[in-house]
Structure 1
């Protein structure tokens, strides 16, 4: 067996140490769109256990410690936003959003997709429904709130559709796997929801006028601003993950992207 010259070995060791100190380029295009909401979502058993165990997922979890993370895929003119974790105790949609990020990473798409898997990571980390004692999905019309930040991002970036993904507990409202939408003033909300309902096998629950039944809801505030939006629900107990709920939520997200011609 040939001996490696000491000088050559020294060079190899030096090179290895240098490479280990070089920062690895991020696999994801990441923005923190709201600060003060950061949390370690990996402390939530269901988020940690059911999310894909990949380097992409690790990067998502790390970003969530800094605040509300938004991940961008593609650079086309047609832009959409996928939002999950408005309620930190509705876990299937957030897990599905992490799965979606893994799917979109490195994939060619037609347009631009913004994905916010945890609107309030600190709430998701402890399965809390509230933010500062308030329901985040009733204050999207209040400036300075995390949910209103989504409306601002959608408006400023020319987003053409917003999908807000949740879960609903058995016996709650709506209490079943469904797509919620409104007809007025943004009829596109109804058309989009109808397609998503058929594609994903979810019930269709339309309201006539945005802001009447759910004032301050992210979907309604977006529709009132002229940005077509829907709310997608899967049936699962709060703070837990029902069998099949992550797959169903993911299917709803795929339906949202397909309707908008992204994939």
Structure 2
């Protein structure tokens, strides 16, 4: 899957106030576009504005990135909803765009409000189908051979005028056949968790990390929602465990700041291969993951909780918060 960047003409994006930081709207990945109006959670909760209408229309062509600023100064990328059933992340990010669209600020902010529009339109957590290879054992040749088998029988003999017997074994051979096997690689297709394949070239997670690397972005705000998080009423941040010799201390400091502002929880861990957070580490990109409850409670309420975390996370780098 190739990554396609299409920058719209200036007139398309010139709808913020004259003294506000200008923005452009581009296509990040043209392979994942979809009509987001098919998801009622999105149509009900995203702001009803000209900007939102422009973005939702653009999402039909692929995932959209809105760039505020001219590429100079501090840089931050907001990446929302890699799982298509995490609408709180998308809604909060769209609300943040409304919050900042008429403000003036320094630095360059990149916002991807719908990581995989195709999945969000279907409210689907899984991405694909992705091609993969697997190995199977198959028959390939029938060969004849002499199969040995044995029979036991009694052998009678006499000794000192008495009859005795003993069991003896005799081997016989029978012509038969058998199959020879070999291992063959085959191709299949399956749906996968998109946040476990960011280390696979061409996937949405891979593309966004490459986008960040190519644009000199060293921090990604990875916005999610998830199940089983009702105890985190103010949200939770996942960050990589920091050590004195690691390059992840920036994530820890960033997460601590957001916690101090919002009262959210912070959980540390090593993450898993294929996560956007882990893939970014290969290029020196720090990432924290925001999470709020998805399955219980009001979507609008938890989107509001997530919006507070987004604002605090952006304020840490001097962007509006």
TM-score (norm 1): 0.83
User: In structure 1, which of residues 169, 177, 185 is the aligned counterpart of residue 235 of structure 2?
Assistant: 177
Q: Could you tell me which residue of structure 2 aligns to residue 201 of structure 1?
A: 263
Q: SS of 2:123's equivalent?
A: coil
User: In structure 1, which of residues 167, 180, 189 is the aligned counterpart of residue 251 of structure 2?
Assistant: 189
Per-residue deviation at 1:24? Answer: 6.4
Larger Rg: 2
Question: Conserved in 1, the CA contact under 8 Å of 2:229 and 2:292?
Answer: no
Q: Could you tell me which residue of structure 2 aligns to residue 164 of structure 1?
A: 222
User: In structure 2, which of residues 44, 57, 62 is the aligned counterpart of residue 62 of structure 1?
Assistant: 57
Query: What is the rounded CA distance, in whole Å, between the counterparts of 2:229 and 2:96 in structure 1?
Result: 28
User: In structure 2, which of residues 11, 30, 39 is the aligned counterpart of residue 35 of structure 1?
Assistant: 30
Q: Could you tell me which residue of structure 2 aligns to residue 12 of structure 1?
A: none
Q: Deviations over 1:32-69 (max 9, x none)?
A: 11111001112211111011111111011001000010
Q: SS of 1:65's equivalent?
A: helix
Question: Conserved in 1, the CA contact under 8 Å of 2:234 and 2:305?
Answer: no
Q: Could you tell me which residue of structure 1 aligns to residue 139 of structure 2?
A: none
Question: Conserved in 2, the CA contact under 8 Å of 1:185 and 1:224?
Answer: no
Q: Deviations over 1:64-88 (max 9, x none)?
A: 0000100011223211000102000
Aligned: 1:222 with 2:280: yes
Aligned in 2, Cα 1:229/1:159: closer, same or farther, shift over 3 Å? Answer: same
Question: Conserved in 2, the CA contact under 8 Å of 1:168 and 1:176?
Answer: no
Question: Conserved in 1, the CA contact under 8 Å of 2:36 and 2:120?
Answer: yes
Aligned: 1:53 with 2:110: no
Per-residue deviation at 1:175? Answer: 10
Q: Could you tell me which residue of structure 2 aligns to residue 9 of structure 1?
A: none
Q: Deviations over 1:193-241 (max 9, x none)?
A: 111122222110012x4xxx32211112213421111000011218x95
Q: Could you tell me which residue of structure 2 aligns to residue 127 of structure 1?
A: 123
Residue-pair matches, total: 236
User: Alignment RMSD, CA only?
Assistant: 2.3
The runs of at least 4 aligned residues of structure 1 exceeding 3 Å deviation read 23-28, 240-243
Query: What is the rounded CA distance, in whole Å, between the counterparts of 2:106 and 2:313 in structure 1?
Result: 13
Aligned: 1:113 with 2:175: no
Query: What 5-or-longer segments of structure 2 have no aligned partner?
Result: 1-9, 16-22, 129-190
Aligned: 1:234 with 2:292: yes
Question: Conserved in 2, the CA contact under 8 Å of 1:168 and 1:175?
Answer: no
Query: What 5-or-longer segments of structure 1 have no aligned partner?
Result: 1-22
Structure with greater strand share of residues: 2
